[in-house]
Chain A
Amino acid sequence: MLEALLEYKFLQNAFLSTILASITCGIMGTIITEKKLVMLSGGIAHTTFGGIGLGYFLGIEPIISGLFFSIIASLGISRINKKTDTYSDLLIGMFWSLGMALGVLFIAFTPGYPPDMTSYLFGDILTVSRKELLLMLIFDLIIITIIVSFFNIFKAYLFDEEFLAIQGAPILLLEYLLYILIACTVVLLVKVTGIILSIALLTVPIALAKQFTYNLKNLMILSCGLGAVFCLMGLFVSYKLGIPSGATIIIIAIFSYLTIVFLKKKTARKHSLPQ
């Protein structure tokens, strides 16, 4: 594969995009899991589909309109949640299906042959273009800069929002910022794992990393590393066997998680047994 990697541009793009995606997943996934926003992220991811459909309908870059949709969705959920007494779970459920429904309609309205949507739904890492790669790089830089420079504030925000508010922090601003970052993250993952599978990459590396560390910073770094390992393994296997990359990555990640947790439990039990 190494020779192929040096030879083929699409493989280089795929390789770089997995690395960029894992960094985002490690950092944002940790925040999403610790703030209990996994469902929200799932909702935002699916709403993105509406934007992608709109992109095809209007003839603009689907990723751009997808990003627009996901940002609107994330801010919309937060706004409506504050204005009304609706549970955010219910709102997420509604946005989730509304986004998908709009996507289906836009695609149906698009003149000519209907485009193939599977690469957006399930990811197609081998078709990542230079332009998309550049977009991912920009997102990554934005996310890393924001999180690194406000790390302590984010940590306090995740741990105890109320206490941070008392200290005069602009909680609403932080919330909107976080939601926009989640929207960006989800869109960034569209090409790697697809809309439907993206949530796994935001949770599995973190769940596994949580087995080994109690430190938020280490948790982020370890999650990035684990994400990269899963993605590269998935890329390798999918390339060798010619099977879909997104699905391969997810299956490898979840099986690794289950195996490691099982082994860890087993060794812990062995140690605790009397000699």
Chain B
Amino acid sequence: MRMRENTILRVAAKSLLPFFFLFAFYVQFHGDFGPGGGFQAGVIFAAGVVLYGLIYGVDAAKAVIPKPWVEVGVALGVLIWIATGVATMLEGGRYLEYGKLDVAHPVHGQHLGILFVEFGVLMAVASGMTLIFYLFAERGR
């Protein structure tokens, strides 16, 4: 409750938050060319939500990202990953053989496949971390 009165923290957090999420997406998409990827991006994204929850209270965070969403997000992230694998199988390749996603340009297909899978990972990790935060924050209130 003290946090509500702490203007500096509130203002600093508010101005930092957009960059949190922007940085998460930067890490996500830069994962195609260098270090980065879905897991790190997901954690950074969730860190943004957690910071918001810490400063403004869990209820405020839940108003932005409702708990049912994150519950669905965990499962949906895994489903996206599996669906990518199944799609490559339907295209006549092996499980997760990304090259088959674009028959004309296998390299392009690989980019596409990694993009899908990493998106699934981002979703699962970000939702999972946020869900853990929500569940622990709810206790003892």
The judgment on whether A and B are partners is no
Q: Which of A's residues lie within 8 Å of B, judged by CB?
A: none
Chain B residues proximal to chain A, CB less than 8 Å? none
